[in-house]
Amino acid sequence: MTTTESHTNVTAQSLIERSNRLGADPRNTNYAGGNTSAKGTETDPVTGEAVELLWVKGSGGDLGTLKESGLAVLRLDRMRSLVNVYPGVEREDEMVAAFDYCLHGKGGAAPSIDTAMHGLVDAAHVDHLHPDSGIAIATAADGEKLTETIFGDKVVWVPWRRPGFQLGLDIAEIKDKNPQAIGCILGGHGITAWGDTSEEAEQNSLWIIRTAAAYIEEHSVAEPFGPALDGYAALPEADRRTKAAALAPTIRGIASQDRPMVGHFTDADVVLDFLAHAEHPRLAELGTSCPDHFLRTKVKPLVLDLPAGASVEDSIARLKELAVSYREDYQAYYDRHATPESPAIRGADPLIVLVPGVGMFSFGKDKQTARVAGEFYVNAINVMRGAEGLSTYAPIDESEKFRIEYWALEEAKLQRMPKPKPLATRVALVTGAASGIGKATAEKLAAEGACVVIADLSLENAQAAAAEIGSTDVAVGVHVDVSSADAVQSMVEAAVLAFGGVDLVVNNAGLSLSRSLLETTEKDWDLQHDVMAKGSFLVAKATAKVMIEQEMGGDIVYISSKNSIFAGPNNVAYGAAKADQAHQVRLLAAELGEHGIKVNGVNPDGVVQGSGIFASGWGANRAAVYGVEEKDLGKFYAQRTILKREVLPSNIANAVFVLCSAELSHTTGLHIPVDAGVAAAFLR
Ligand SMILES: NC(=O)c1ccc[n+]([C@@H]2O[C@H](COP(=O)([O-])OP(=O)(O)OC[C@H]3O[C@@H](n4cnc5c(N)ncnc54)[C@H](O)[C@@H]3O)[C@@H](O)[C@H]2O)c1
Ligand SMILES: [Zn+2]
């Protein structure tokens, strides 16, 4: 019976712990880069005899957060038998499918391309890592000589070879021939280290990484990126963020010509320092080198060739020119190397855009991917600094870069990715989203794949609502008073710096004071018109500018009200403000259509649950007007409707989603009533 009990083998357990420790320090390996393994025995449930197994980090996943489910488990005897059927380097990719025939039990995670290296090297514990310091040596023009100088015969140089079965055989042979060696530098790529025990492998990995880093520190030339470039120093922080926000929509548009992208911005010192020195254009052009990078960052970034002080207008004009040549260059690179078997071109837009004095914009299919692309380029800068400090940066040949970027195995991985959610890549901004209808709308849009910016009067409440939805890769909270043009501008800047731009705006912020004409003060009138009529005008104006600059279309949705149509007593200021909003929908639909921006509205009614408006007096007032208890107001409203259903915040949120989804791509200027049916407010 013991064989069916779930348990973690001690060897696997120590492997997970070692991997987590190594992966927790970004100096040891890049995000999701590298893999680790351990060999050991377990009782075969079929024969009752001991069986030798290989536990190895599977495809995808990150060492820092590796769990047992992320390990592939293979039978070592079968894996090593593959040597006898290996058809040679031209057909080495076929061996990946053969790994499936070596799995023990269900095998765990899918074995990665690096499985061969781990299985074939004759050591109980193997680490393959992508440390910046190790890649710096691996990409130095005289990397082989440097390896000998730095490590003596303890670490052996392995010339560049694309990861795969042959690289595994190469490393296994090197270990056999160099019994004194503890690991190797893989040219153009990274490091591999080994040990008889898990501790020994870990110590050997860390020794290589730290020895390389210390050597670079001690022997690097003073200015590895060349002398400071006049006019390219970082702008003061406030200025560079303002400029970044002004450029962001244009840059996102440039990165999204083939497919829409989410953006990430960083003004980290590493990036600003790189851009402030003379050699950055040459180095950026040489491109990145570690195999992990090509799908994430493309072979090279787009670099704005203007000084930090260039105006926003000049920068935008130049970026647009550079985008055209970037796309031509990328197409030419594809055409130079593609064979009839190559996967189709995956789009020619840059994934990394560098702006001197300001920082780096990086792009991906979601925020996490965009952020990691930026992290990878920071890795690439560190690698270039190390390599140039000791020697000359010499990444792998362009043809090899292409073989990795358009590798059939990578393409297969991409094809296996789950279908994106309906609002994936879209950046939504919802005002008044810390409560009620706005909060439900933000939750719905996030659930459908959007990145959301939750804007509200209280920053604290906005951030709390965002945290309920998820990490800052999914939702961020920002402050806004929609009745202030300055505050709206700051909100839009925060949004574009968080996600690269804005595509979907929900004008939801509002409040309601139920008073008769004679009791309505001038202040009551102004407040409601300032927040709802003027506020949504200001938000529409500032966000439409972003959308027009992005050239990616967009959606603006107004949460107006049944009361924009329906006339009843004690509602003159609120009802008039709502009617103003409702007409803005039609006016802006007519004006913004040429930019692909749709403008629609939702007319809710009687949403009591979760509504701050009802909780703060309006509900008590309405209940008194109708002669019911406040807690029964929702049910009372339901009885007034045609469908006799209570309207919930989620019903409004669903309508917003539908208006912005692909299904209503040809609808603009429409209001959808979500009121469970109120004949007096029918649209005609
Ligand atoms: N609840 C209903 O039955 C109902 C019916 C029709 C229309 N509406 C409209 O729906 C919208 C949301 O209402 P709710 O019921 O969820 O109310 P709510 O009070 O729960 O939420 C409104 C949010 O707007 C925020 N807000 C107010 N003034 C702001 C300002 N100047 N700047 C930024 N944020 C501000 C508030 O802080 C609050 O978080 C409002 O426009 C309201 O008029 C509601
Ligand atoms: Zn690798």
Q: Which ligand approaches the C-alpha of residue 560 most closely?
A: 1
Q: Which ligand approaches the C-alpha of residue 609 most closely?
A: 1
Ligand 1, atom nearest to 607 Cα: 3
Q: How far, in Å, is the centroid of ligand 1 from the Cα of 665? A: 27
CA dihedral 271, 277, 278, 281 (to 10 degrees): 10
Q: How far, in Å, is the centroid of ligand 2 from the Cα of 192? A: 9
At 597, phi and psi to the nearest 5?
Answer: -95, 120
SS3 83: helix
SS3 392: coil
Q: Closest Cα to residue 405, out of 346, 360, 448, 457?
A: 346
Residues with CB under 5 A from ligand 2 (ion): 190
Kind of pairing, strands 451-456 and 352-355? unpaired
C-alpha pair distances (Å), 564 with each of 438, 555, 578, 589, 675:
18, 21, 5, 17, 13
Contact 59, 409 (CB under 8 A): no
Contact 18, 201 (CB under 8 A): yes
Q: How far, in Å, is the centroid of ligand 1 from the Cα of 459? A: 16
Give me the residues paired with residue 264 across strands: 362
> From atom 42 of ligand 1, which residue's Cα is the shortest distance away?
510
Q: How far, in Å, is the centroid of ligand 1 from the Cα of 644? A: 24
444, 453, 559, best to mutate for ligand 1 pocket (most atoms within 8 Å of CB) = 559
The three-state DSSP-derived secondary structure of 13-47 is HHHHHHHHHHHHCCCCCCCCCCEEEEEEEEECCCC
613, 636, 647, 651, best to mutate for ligand 1 pocket (most atoms within 8 Å of CB) = 613
Rounded Cα–Cα distance for residues 44 and 354 (Å): 55
Contact 469, 446 (CB under 8 A): yes
Assign domain 237-416 one CATH number from 3.40.225.10, 3.30.420.40, 3.40.50.300, 3.30.70.20.
3.40.225.10
> From atom 5 of ligand 1, which residue's Cα is the shortest distance away?
605
Q: At what angle do helices 198-219 and 143-151 cross, to 10 degrees?
A: 110
- Residue among 86, 574, 626, 637 flagged as catalytic: 574
pLDDT for the residue 4: 42
Q: What are the tens digits of pLDDT across the range 518-559? A: 999 999 999 999 999 999 999 999 999 999 999 999 999 999
CATH 3.90.25.10, applies to 427-612+646-681: no
- Beta strands (DSSP E) in 113-182 are 125-129, 155-158
430, 435, 486, 488, best to mutate for ligand 1 pocket (most atoms within 8 Å of CB) = 435
Ligand 1, atom nearest to 439 Cα: 16
Question: Does residue 218 surpass a pLDDT of 60?
Answer: yes
Question: Does residue 5 surpass a pLDDT of 70?
Answer: no
Contact 538, 490 (CB under 8 A): no
Tell me the helices (H) and strands (E) count for the chain, helix number first: 26, 19
Q: How far, in Å, is the centroid of ligand 1 from the Cα of 220? A: 59
Q: What are the tens digits of pLDDT across the range 301-311? A: 999 999 999 99
Q: Which ligand approaches the C-alpha of residue 604 most closely?
A: 1
Question: Does residue 6 surpass a pLDDT of 70?
Answer: no
Kind of pairing, strands 359-364 and 183-186? unpaired
Q: Among positive and negative, which fits the CA dihedral 428, 430, 433, 438?
A: negative
Q: What six digits make up the tokens of 352?
A: 């990394």
Radius of gyration of the chain (CA): 30
pLDDT for the residue 417: 86
Ligand 1, atom nearest to 531 Cα: 31
Of 7-16, 372-381, 519-528, the least confident: 7-16
Q: Which run of H or of E encompasses 549? A: helix 535-550
Ligand 1, atom nearest to 605 Cα: 5
530, 581, 611, best to mutate for ligand 1 pocket (most atoms within 8 Å of CB) = 611
Say whether 574 is catalytic: yes
- Give residues with Cβ within 8 angstroms of 156, minimum separation 6: 147, 174, 178, 181, 183, 184, 185
Q: Which ligand approaches the C-alpha of residue 574 most closely?
A: 1
**At CA 261, angle to CA 260 and CA 267, rounded to 5?**
150
- The pTM of this model reads 0.95
- CATH 3.40.225.10 range(s) for the chain read 10-219, 237-416
Residues with CB under 6 A from ligand 1: 431-432, 434-438, 456-457, 480-483, 508-512, 531, 535, 559, 561, 604-607, 611-613
The three-state DSSP-derived secondary structure of 445-469 is HHHCCCEEEEEECCHHHHHHHHHHH
SS3 387: helix
Name the CATH superfamily for 10-219: Class II aldolase/adducin N-terminal domain (3.40.225.10)
Q: What are the tens digits of pLDDT across the range 630-667? A: 999 999 999 999 999 999 999 999 999 999 999 999 99
Give me the residues paired with residue 604 across strands: 674
Ligand 1, atom nearest to 647 Cα: 3
Q: How far, in Å, is the centroid of ligand 1 from the Cα of 367? A: 28
Q: What six digits make up the tokens of 481?
A: 């008073």
Q: What are the tens digits of pLDDT across the range 470-520? A: 999 999 999 999 999 999 999 999 999 999 999 999 999 999 998 999 999
Neighbours of 279 (CB within 10 A): 18
Rounded Cα–Cα distance for residues 44 and 561 (Å): 68
Rounded Cα–Cα distance for residues 297 and 420 (Å): 20
Q: What are the tens digits of pLDDT across the range 104-146? A: 999 999 999 999 999 999 999 999 999 999 999 999 999 999 9
Q: Which run of H or of E encompasses 478? A: strand 475-479
Q: Among positive and negative, which fits the CA dihedral 482, 614, 528, 644?
A: positive
Q: What are the tens digits of pLDDT across the range 273-302? A: 999 999 999 999 999 888 888 889 999 999
- CATH 3.40.50.720 range(s) for the chain read 427-612+646-681
Q: How far, in Å, is the centroid of ligand 2 from the Cα of 253? A: 32
